[in-house]
């Protein structure tokens, strides 16, 4: 899971990263899910995702949420769909 936002992280980006990590821990999938923070101003991130609004959340290179902090329920639903 990639949390995409500005560097240094704004409060919304920090909250998104915190939410994602909390859900990964809650579901006990730390060994299956890698959580990374990406800088939306990085040319590689821009070329991969296009223009995004922070915070954004991508899974396996696919943008799932953009421009808002996802709820724990949303993150959990996304993870359950991806992990099967």
CA–CA dist 62, 31 (Å, integer): 20
- For 2-54, write each residue's pLDDT tens digit: 999 999 989 999 999 999 999 999 999 999 999 999 999 999 999 999 877 99
Flag whether pLDDT at 59 surpasses 80: yes
Q: What pLDDT, on a 0 to 100 scale, did the predictor assign at position 70?
A: 97
Q: Whose structure tokens read 């409060």?
A: 11
**What CATH class has 2-83?**
alpha beta
The whole model's pTM is what? 0.92
Is 46 strand, coil or helix?
A: helix
Backbone angles phi, psi at 79, to 5 degrees: -65, -40
């Amino acid at each position: 899971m990639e949390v995409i936002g500005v560097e240094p992280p704004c409060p919304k980006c920090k909250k998104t990263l915190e939410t994602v990590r909390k859900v990964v821990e809650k579901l006990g999938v730390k060994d299956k899910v890698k959580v990374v923070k990406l800088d939306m101003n990085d040319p590689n991130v821009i070329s991969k995702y296009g223009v995004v609004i922070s915070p954004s959340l991508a899974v396996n290179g696919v943008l799932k949420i953009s421009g808002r902090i996802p709820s724990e329920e949303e993150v959990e639903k996304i993870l359950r769909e991806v992990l099967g």
